[in-house]
Structure 1
């Protein structure tokens, strides 16, 4: 069994992302530097020359105050302290405040960042590299974050919610814990999971505070720094860009131009810009700003500002201006001494719309680094694959493709009519020779008859395949059930399952083992086969392209 796949083999990624990973030359104008070890040095020198080092003091002060009341590891505190130094840079990822961390790929993002920092420190010891997890606390789409899946059960938080999700109070989560408790087995690791959920959500007032606790508990020992960006001192560092966006609509103009250029190469636009790419935020409110006839209106409210009033509001209350998906990257890069952003395919697709916007704001465009992806297999699953004579690549096919493939494998009848089609074509060769000696209409008639005969064979082949699928349903269904288990809801495993399913078997060790196995700059899809016994897994994970 292969230990990794090219992203093309998974059939799950857009042409835009595949072409980016393969560094297709026609895409080079849409990004700055491709993330490799050598380019990190060039990125360091550029960021060092252009970063506003006054932001360092603000950043460190905010982080120290943010972490008050939390147990901070020596590694995390050291990372915060080193941000004062001009030779310190960040590598960043971020995510929404999904309940109990949401899908597993959130862990993959974080581990990619941690591992990249470690490798860059080894390569460039004269610099410091701080791993940042940026909480998307200002998002307001509660329905996207109010649940997680545990063994195909949707654990849901029902609540009337409005405004920035990070400010939501955690009331009502006691009942969610009760539902989760009933789904869990009675084991020590299950008790640890319940304790983690209880401490995070029942002992912290806001969703942001709960999320800081959760990620700090899971990744603090490896030095992860969690950043809550929805804070006035941090927004004050972004005032200049907020004003420019309000007055000049730079993002709207530049992204529209870039999107046209991407569409000209048959790539789809990921995010459509608005004239003003900012929200107005207040208690229980986050609504987009609309510019109309020189007045700034707050959507779905009675609030409106003249040009003078909106600029005064930026000066006095910058925290009330919240960037949307296209402005948030700029906020991050203005605030942080950042080198690389680690994201999934969808995120990188909208980042690829932003380089000209960054150029207009005179902010260095970061390297765009695809996070690690993986399919995790238990030893039991590996055994099933072998018994069913399946290669892991087979399971990335569509369901009907998998059924047809397995039908052909299992069937004692040869369902492939290729030899018959070849024989048929040879029979028509003689007719074509005769046709060439007469008029064109007869030649066309021969060609039409050949096509008719080939179509007939295709239909017979499909009917035979369908009949054999019915006859051999039991054997085929075992392959389909295995595919359904590894690709829940027809999606990549990492997009659905929650870390808790792995924690029940491996505890926190699975984080360290993924950390060991991931190679951030290889840009491959890993297949990781897990040992089944907790005591035996320290050195028995197998993965990566060696």
Structure 2
């Protein structure tokens, strides 16, 4: 497998500044940098010296074991849980549960965490464990419920599981019927082309669907299937056992909520003073915590010494909420600003593997860590990949295209390729015809308005209709010309669909089943062999 490093746009200026260490003020917001070896040592030392500030390692290991015994029973994962029990730090990453793991970037996060843990273990001489934090508490069903695969049209097939009727609750609390999960697998089987590994893939998906009641459970089964042997440890943030461990921190977050709100505001102001925009909503009066109210997940706001829902139709006293943190902690969950703190309280986080958007909103949290006498972990940008199949690589060579051509200027290159084969000069011919029509109408404007002023508008409307007819004829002529090159254009469109689908990076659209169907798990194992890139580089990998 050939690897080539390329640079994709970050889309987040503060993330770019952090990764490239181009702005000292930005780096100061995070405290440490993944590319600095001494920062790994200092963070490891801090974790050892402040173990009493986190969940007890034995309780954490028991909780992780109970969960992984259900979804991720590989011996390597079990051994890593015992390492956590003995005090091993972790490299954590996470994502909302998505259908059949969601877009490929989810796998890239897992790969980065596994690679980083392997290298950190070697560098520090202590076991370091990769952990995947499944954000089952999230309630954005429309983001989680679908997967995209390519068909031979070429086009994308979107496969989705509809949300059952009921409250807008967490994905991990949205029960699905066996019929719904089984039907999704059958739709996938129909959408995927017949290929060498299709029977193996579909059988595995059917098996895990039968063992799952929610998308979060299915997600966990598949991550265990793909990465359990690499030692990846799984956890669901909405697991009842995890909630019990989180209870004391929920209490602190409520008691010190005003301090935390001010800390997030200071973080946003510091970012703005450096010339960057805040990428998470730091709303005045927001508690930055969710409450499950009759199964619906509602964001809490503060008003007149109490907490309320967004619309103000319900309210709760601080004493009432604090009582629930002790007796019913499963009623609470975090938002994007409090999740980093909770993660660091539950786990001994040496480093957190984050995507560009996540790095941007973590930039707001440094002050909040300090308010709770905590220390932000090392932020490690996730690596990313574009998988280039042999068929795609051959077509790139055939048409003289680079990856950048497809990603940045595909429409222009496609049109130029087709224009080079326009021996009849279609575009020029119709341009000349349009100019000729315009010239013919020029003396008519004076003639018609000279007879009657009102005929001027009629003349212009008549000219417009003539131009529209010419444009229609030109389109039909171009379509007929393009049809002569239908096979080549399909190959070109397959390139775009494979490398930059819907105008987005491959990793943000395509699902892993698309590639597993054709190549089995060999490409996953190759990804796991990659050394960790501390700058989270993007790699073109020919498979």
Specify if TM > 0.5. yes
Residue of structure 2 in register with 1:42 after alignment: 42
Query: For residues 517 and 183 of structure 2, what CA distance do their matches in structure 1 show?
Result: 21
Please state if 1:359 is matched with 2:365. no
Q: Does the residue aligned with 2:147 lie in a helix, a strand or coil? A: strand
The Cα offsets for residues 143-189 of structure 1, whole Å up to 9 and x where unpaired, read as: 11011011110001012352111122221222212211212344552
State which of 17, 28, 34 in structure 2 corresponds to 1:19: 17
The Cα offsets for residues 460-488 of structure 1, whole Å up to 9 and x where unpaired, read as: xxxxxxxxxx8997689975663343100
Residue of structure 2 in register with 1:89 after alignment: 89
State which of 254, 259, 264 in structure 1 corresponds to 2:263: 254
Residue of structure 1 in register with 2:133 after alignment: 134
Query: For residues 528 and 122 of structure 1, what CA distance do their matches in structure 2 show?
Result: 26
Q: CA deviation at 1:232?
A: 4.4
Query: For residues 505 and 518 of structure 1, what CA distance do their matches in structure 2 show?
Result: 25
Query: For residues 17 and 3 of structure 2, what CA distance do their matches in structure 1 show?
Result: 22
Q: Does the residue aligned with 1:276 lie in a helix, a strand or coil? A: strand
Residue of structure 2 in register with 1:110 after alignment: 110
Deviates more, 1:73-82 or 1:201-210: 201-210
Please state if 1:285 is matched with 2:296. yes
Q: Give unmatched runs, 5+ long, in structure 1.
A: 413-469, 531-546
Please state if 1:195 is matched with 2:203. yes
Q: Does the residue aligned with 1:340 lie in a helix, a strand or coil? A: strand
Contact 1:244 1:250 in 2 (8 A): no
Query: For residues 501 and 481 of structure 1, what CA distance do their matches in structure 2 show?
Result: 14
State which of 523, 535, 543 in structure 1 corresponds to 2:536: 523
The Cα offsets for residues 473-527 of structure 1, whole Å up to 9 and x where unpaired, read as: 7689975663343100000001001111111222111111111135332532111
- The within-5 A match list for 1:403-482 is 482=495
- The within-5 A match list for 1:311-330 is 311-330=322-341
Contact 2:133 2:234 in 1 (8 A): yes
Query: For residues 372 and 409 of structure 2, what CA distance do their matches in structure 1 show?
Result: 44
Q: Does the residue aligned with 1:342 lie in a helix, a strand or coil? A: strand
Residue of structure 1 in register with 2:30 after alignment: 31
Please state if 1:154 is matched with 2:162. no
Query: For residues 408 and 327 of structure 2, what CA distance do their matches in structure 1 show?
Result: 56
Q: Does the residue aligned with 2:91 lie in a helix, a strand or coil? A: strand
Q: Which has the higher contact order (CA 8 A, sep 6+)?
A: 2
Q: Does the residue aligned with 2:532 lie in a helix, a strand or coil? A: coil
Distance 1:402-1:49 versus aligned 2 partners, 3 A rule: farther
Please state if 1:498 is matched with 2:511. yes
Contact 2:196 2:519 in 1 (8 A): no
Query: For residues 114 and 311 of structure 1, what CA distance do their matches in structure 2 show?
Result: 37
State which of 309, 331, 335 in structure 1 corresponds to 2:342: 331
Contact 2:103 2:508 in 1 (8 A): yes
Query: For residues 264 and 68 of structure 2, what CA distance do their matches in structure 1 show?
Result: 36
Please state if 1:376 is matched with 2:376. no
Contact 2:407 2:499 in 1 (8 A): no
State which of 163, 169, 191 in structure 2 corresponds to 1:163: 169
TM-score after normalising by structure 1:
0.79
State which of 266, 273, 281 in structure 1 corresponds to 2:282: 273
Distance 1:223-1:380 versus aligned 2 partners, 3 A rule: same
Please state if 1:228 is matched with 2:242. no
Contact 1:103 1:498 in 2 (8 A): yes
Distance 1:500-1:386 versus aligned 2 partners, 3 A rule: same
Distance 1:385-1:208 versus aligned 2 partners, 3 A rule: closer
Query: For residues 491 and 341 of structure 2, what CA distance do their matches in structure 1 show?
Result: 49
Tell me the C-alpha RMSD between the 2 structures. 2.9
Contact 2:55 2:347 in 1 (8 A): no
Q: How many residues align?
A: 471
TM-score after normalising by structure 2:
0.80
Q: Does the residue aligned with 1:4 lie in a helix, a strand or coil? A: strand
